[in-house]
């Protein structure tokens, strides 16, 4: 039961562009392809025991034994009176929430960390979760200056093991564009991040943690990495996905590239090369016992386009050429596990047809296919994970209806998947 976290702040221009469009009313009910039907089972907003509505920016999510957690910044807590008017009680007063049944319990802020920008998380085992946190100089979305990256572990309602990660001289980490945090069975951790050099260029650094030995970094790739994705394979191998300007071209052409580390990193393999102004965002791996897939967004700001693309069976005998998954995908979230295999969820925003949909794509023998959609229910980004029974939980923001006292709260939608 794994999911890949979304990096919403990098996609803020696309959300703003979507918000500026004029859309027709979306069609009711699910839209399906083929015999498989994805259905909405229920939806709920998150409310604390004292009745306050809560919102958590969905930067990282993970499964618990009897529920899930969602963390990120900002977070809000609201009171809502009988007429529906909201009043803010807390802003950035907690890191996220744990949800088990009807219980919604805040995850406290980390002692010793002043303000948090971005969060990444990975489950270490029953009751234990590892977190990476970007400490910033002020509580601001996108404009705050990063101060340091810290690692801490959360278990039984308490934080422990706060540790600052080392950073090489001569540059800074681009944490919002970094990969997810991945955990191995032995308790070791790994993640990758762009490293912006002061003298120009953007390298990729790999960070690895060994219990008892702490964190270390190493150079994984050199030159022009806008965003990266990472996954742990069998026997400790790693796969890296890199989106950014291609170092083999003198022009401003970007590409999506894949690398694998056995004893050493393989030479970067170009999967797709963009045209002028194309950029490759949020590379995300989906792995199963039999296959490795790579998902990304291909964006072009001057044209105002954003598409979801995927390569299936990467590096195997059944590898397929890059395929466009969604021609109007503003956001995408990849979910491993679930009934029927991996799923990709996209925010499909087509201003020409007036459509805003949450689309569900499932992996099959011939690649990914659209298996269902519903009118887009969120205001802004979302993330997703699977339940122990194989259902999909999708988490995002829901705006309250009163325009005089606008507020936002976390909305959780439970979807069935196909067999």
Q: pLDDT value at position 23?
A: 34
Q: CA torsion 72→145→14→411, rounded to 10°?
A: 20
Please give the pLDDT value at position 91. 87
Label the pairing between strands 60-64 and 86-91.
unpaired
DSSP conformational letter for 47? B
pLDDT given for residue 288 in this prediction: 76
Q: What percent of the chain has pLDDT over 90?
A: 67
CA dihedral 298, 301, 306, 308 (to 10 degrees): 10
Rounded Cα–Cα distance for residues 75 and 89 (Å): 11
Are 371 and 24 contacting, i.e. CB atoms less than 8 angstroms apart?
Answer: no
Percent helix / strand / coil, the chain, rounded to 5: 5, 55, 40
The pLDDT value recorded for residue 220 is 95
Distance from the Cα of residue 408 to its chain's centroid: 20
Classify burial at 11, counting beta carbons within 10 Å of its beta carbon; exposed 0-12, middle 13-18, buried 19 or more: buried
Per-residue pLDDT at 5: 36
Hey, which CATH number is domain 8-415, 3.40.1410.10, 3.90.226.30, 2.120.10.10, 1.10.1200.120?
Answer: 2.120.10.10
- The answer to whether the CB of 254 falls within 8 A of the CB of 202 is no
User: What pLDDT score was predicted for residue 393?
Assistant: 97
Neighbours of 296 (CB within 10 A): 26
What's residue 22's pLDDT? Answer: 33
pLDDT value at residue 272? 95
Q: What is the pLDDT of residue 248?
A: 86
Residues in the chain with pLDDT values less than 50: 1-33
For β-strands 329-335 and 323-326, DSSP reports them as unpaired
Q: How far is residue 177 from each of residues 227, 250, 282, 375, measured CA to CA in Å?
A: 5, 24, 8, 28
Please tell me the predicted confidence (pLDDT) of residue 410. 97
How many CB atoms within 10 Å of residue 398? 21
pLDDT at residue number 141 = 65
Query: Which tokens sit at 216?
Result: 């270390």
**Separation of first and last alpha carbons in the chain:** 17
């Amino acid at each position: 039961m794994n999911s890949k976290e979304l990096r919403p702040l990098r996609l803020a221009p696309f959300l703003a562009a979507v918000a500026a469009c004029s859309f027709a009313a979306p069609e009711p009910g699910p839209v399906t392809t083929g015999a498989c039907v994805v259905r909405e089972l229920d939806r709920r907003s998150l409310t604390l025991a004292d009745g306050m509505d809560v919102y958590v920016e969905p930067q990282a999510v993970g499964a618990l034994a009897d529920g899930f957690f969602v963390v990120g910044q900002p977070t809000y807590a609201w009171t809502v009176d009988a007429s529906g008017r909201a009043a803010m009680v807390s802003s950035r007063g907690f890191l996220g929430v744990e949800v088990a049944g009807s219980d919604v319990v805040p995850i406290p802020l980390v002692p010793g960390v002043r303000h948090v920008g971005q969060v990444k998380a990975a489950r270490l085992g029953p009751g234990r979760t590892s977190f990476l946190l970007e400490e910033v100089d002020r509580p601001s979305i996108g404009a705050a200056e990063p101060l340091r990256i810290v690692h801490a572990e959360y278990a039984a309602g308490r934080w422990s093991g706060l540790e600052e990660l080392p950073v090489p001289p001569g540059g800074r980490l681009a944490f919002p564009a970094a990969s997810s945090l991945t955990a191995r069975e032995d308790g070791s951790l790994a993640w990758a991040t762009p490293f912006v050099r002061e003298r120009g260029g953007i390298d990729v650094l790999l960070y690895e943690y060994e219990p008892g030995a702490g964190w270390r970094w190493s150079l994984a790739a050199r030159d022009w990495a806008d965003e990266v994705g990472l996954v742990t394979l069998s026997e400790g191998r790693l796969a890296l996905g890199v989106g950014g300007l291609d170092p083999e071209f003198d022009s401003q052409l970007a590409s999506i590239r894949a690398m694998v580390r056995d004893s050493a990193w393989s030479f970067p393999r170009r999967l797709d090369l963009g045209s002028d102004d194309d950029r490759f965002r949020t590379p995300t791996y989906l792995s199963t016992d039999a296959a490795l897939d790579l998902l990304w967004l291909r964006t072009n700001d001057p044209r105002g386009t954003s598409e979801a693309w995927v390569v299936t069976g990467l590096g195997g005998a059944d590898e397929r050429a890059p395929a466009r998954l969604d021609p109007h995908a503003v956001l995408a979230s990849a979910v491993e596990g679930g009934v029927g295999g991996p799923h990709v969820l996209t925010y499909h925003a087509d201003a020409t047809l007036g459509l805003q949909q949450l689309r569900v794509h499932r992996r099959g023998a011939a690649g990914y296919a659209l298996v269902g959609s519903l009118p887009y229910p969120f205001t802004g980004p979302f993330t997703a994970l699977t339940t122990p029974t194989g259902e999909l939980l999708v988490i995002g923001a829901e705006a309250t209806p009163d325009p005089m006292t606008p507020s936002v709260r976390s909305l959780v939608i439970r979807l069935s998947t196909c067999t």
